[in-house]
């Protein structure tokens, strides 16, 4: 493990830095054509760069010109990842200055296509691959990571990548993308982040038969062998990186809840698909109440999809209702879930996964969504089904028939899996729907009014939660911390946003949003006695002052 690595933060003066081609090949230190004349003199760069000294703004303009002429979003993704591997500061400056344009490329929906093509577009190491072949030596594998102080770790086993299913080792694109957002949105230094792919095999036959697939070509590890592997991984990580938060990402439903419940009180960990998604959805629900001139206590929710995301959202809604004074049993009865076999009801209790059972209510079985809406009469319809087009015109019309302002949340990712489009939601409800989606949609004009759809993007939540964990030194991630994050996000929605029909704030404010969430999470961690670091005098200012900046360091004055 190289603990003497030179970074802009550790270099005492230019004599500590590599010179010539070496500094140009160092993604953390490279400034490209922006090295000043003094720096070029001191660092042996004359002749290795064009004579013009560029400003970072000029470099951003050059990047964006090239970005815009790429023919496809996948090409834009490859272009940006290549920039990240050459010039880290410029990459994050471009991302922050163009956040609404960059997020759909570096995150959902394009990251899904990038994962599908990962073996074909692989450019080089960006994280750690820990495979089933590494059983018994995971700690040794961790020694090979280039940074000694990882504080935010995102890990997947590739079994449920977005709505695309089992992508095996190709799922590495997800931890890479998530950690880009940690640095861009919450200012976590990139050197403090670690993407990890746990390659335990794949059941995707097309990958196993693909000669260019880079992962293990064997069936997925299951049962006790899998559990022992994960346990060795968690122990190795917690011993190596004692201050780190571990974010579980895109695990299959059979493991997601189980692993979260097993480890959440042992190490500092959370599952973004379960808790992050829940927080961003709850924030949107709370903002929608202003448009409805109503209260969350008067809502009734029907979910299409009862996996980790659906049940996680329902659990957090129940927590919010209980916090507002509603008995827990009554709060659970406000949440109705449908899975592939129909409405989750008491008569199915013995055939249900344990995490679904609290939502098995007394009701005759229902097999289709339209009938469920007719009988349950929900005020909000939440889609986490990965079933494209499942919110049909008839479904949307029925929601509008029984509600003046139905809340329609088509959250499945990527866009190709969305339950409906924004245009469909507004068109088939006569412009009365309050709409949000998992992937971005363009504004829609209906009856002379333009609506700006909200995107229930987890990028609003998990970077700020992770930042709050680091600021507080929290030992664990409590449900109250997640609830506080949701409330903090909802508080960022302005009347101007609501006037556009948007129930989330613009992503251009993402660093301000992350600071607010981090502060709320920190305060709860202290209130609950699980913080290990002292509360700063000026919390929000302290957070802002310690965020990673994409501005270039000055090596020679």
List the beta bridge partners of residue 197: 129, 156
Tokens of 435: 């709409």
Dihedral of the alpha carbons of 93, 97, 99, 100, in degrees to the nearest 10: -160
Q: Is the dihedral of CA 160, 175, 91, 25 positive or negative?
A: negative
Clarify whether 107 is annotated catalytic: yes
Measured in whole angstroms, the distance separating CA 451 from the mean position of its chain's CA atoms is 25
Helix, strand, coil: what percent of the chain each, to 5? 50, 10, 40
Check if 178 is active-site. yes
Query: What's the rounded Cα separation, in Å, for the pair 516 and 489?
Result: 8
**C-beta of residue 290 within 8 angstroms of C-beta of residue 497:** no
Distances (CA, A) of 139 to 135, 233, 244, 520: 10, 8, 15, 34
Q: What string of H, E and C letters represents the secondary structure of 212-230?
A: CCCCCCCCCCCHHHHHHHH
| Cis before 74? omega within 30 | no
| List of E strands, 386-516 | 407-410, 434-437, 444-446, 449-451, 454-455
Q: Which of 113, 151, 178, 253 is catalytic?
A: 178
Is there a contact between 292 and 498 (Cβ–Cβ < 8 Å)? no
For the chain, the C-alpha Rg in angstroms (whole number) is 24
CB count in 10 Å sphere of residue 149: 14
502: left (phi over 0), alpha (psi -120 to 50) or beta: beta
CA distance 435 to 429: 10
CA angle 474, 477, 481 (to 5 degrees): 95
Single out the catalytic residue among 107, 359, 426, 460.
107
SS3 451: strand
Q: What 3-state DSSP class applies to 330?
A: helix
State the catalytic residues: 107, 178
């Amino acid at each position: 493990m190289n603990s003497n690595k030179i970074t802009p933060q550790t270099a005492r003066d230019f004599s500590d830095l590599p010179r010539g081609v070496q500094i140009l090949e160092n993604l953390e230190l490279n400034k490209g054509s922006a090295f000043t004349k003094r720096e070029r003199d001191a660092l042996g760069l004359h002749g290795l760069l064009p004579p013009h000294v560029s400003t970072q703004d000029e470099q951003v303009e050059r990047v964006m010109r090239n970005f815009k002429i790429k023919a496809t979003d996948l090409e834009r993704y490859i272009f940006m990842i290549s920039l990240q591997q050459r010039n880290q500061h410029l990459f994050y400056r471009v991302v922050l200055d163009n956040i609404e344009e960059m997020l759909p490329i570096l995150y959902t929906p394009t990251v899904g296509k990038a994962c599908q093509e990962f073996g074909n577009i692989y450019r080089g190491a960006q994280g750690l691959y820990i495979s089933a072949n590494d059983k018994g030596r995971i700690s040794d594998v961790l020694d090979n990571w280039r940074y000694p102080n990882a504080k935010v770790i995102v890990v997947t086993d590739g079994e449920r990548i977005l709505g695309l299913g089992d992508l095996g080792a190709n799922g590495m694109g997800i931890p890479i993308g998530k950690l880009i957002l940690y640095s861009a949105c919450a200012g976590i230094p990139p050197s403090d982040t670690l993407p990890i792919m746990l390659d335990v095999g794949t059941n995707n036959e097309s990958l196993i038969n693909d000669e260019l697939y880079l992962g293990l070509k064997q069936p997925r590890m299951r049962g006790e062998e899998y559990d022992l592997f994960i346990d060795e991984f968690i122990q190795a990580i917690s011993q190596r990186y004692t201050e780190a938060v571990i974010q579980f990402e895109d695990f299959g439903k059979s493991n997601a809840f189980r692993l979260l419940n097993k480890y959440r009180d042992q190490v500092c960990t959370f599952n973004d698909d379960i808790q992050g998604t829940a927080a961003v959805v709850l924030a949107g629900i709370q903002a929608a109440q202003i448009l409805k001139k109503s209260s969350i206590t008067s809502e009734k929710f029907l979910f299409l999809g009862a996996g980790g995301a659906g049940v996680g959202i329902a659990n957090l809604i129940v927590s919010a209702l209980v916090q507002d004074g509603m008995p827990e049993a009554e709060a659970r009865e406000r949440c109705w879930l449908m899975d592939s076999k129909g409405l989750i009801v008491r008569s199915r209790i013995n055939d249900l996964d344990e995490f679904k059972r609290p939502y098995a209510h007394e009701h005759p079985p229902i097999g289709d969504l339209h009938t469920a809406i007719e009988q349950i009469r929900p005020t909000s319809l939440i889609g986490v089904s990965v079933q494209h087009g499942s919110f049909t015109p008839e479904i949307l019309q029925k929601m509008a028939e029984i509600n003046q302002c139905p809340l329609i949340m088509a959250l499945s990712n990527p866009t190709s899996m969305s339950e409906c489009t924004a245009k469909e939601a507004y068109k088939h409800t006569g412009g009365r729907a309050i709409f949000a989606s998992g992937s971005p949609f363009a504004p829609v004009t209906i009856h002379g009014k333009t609506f700006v759809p909200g995107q229930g993007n987890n990028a609003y939540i998990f970077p700020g939660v992770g930042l709050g964990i680091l600021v507080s030194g929290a030992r664990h991630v409590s449900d109250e911390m997640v609830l506080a994050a949701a409330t903090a996000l909802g508080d960022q929605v302005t009347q101007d946003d609501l006037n556009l029909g948007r129930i989330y704030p613009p992503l251009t404010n993402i660093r301000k949003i992350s600071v607010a969430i981090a502060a709320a999470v920190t305060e709860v961690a202290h209130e609950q006695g699980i913080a290990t670091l002292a509360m700063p005098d000026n919390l929000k200012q302290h957070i802002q002052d310690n965020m990673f900046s994409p501005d270039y360091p000055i090596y020679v004055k």
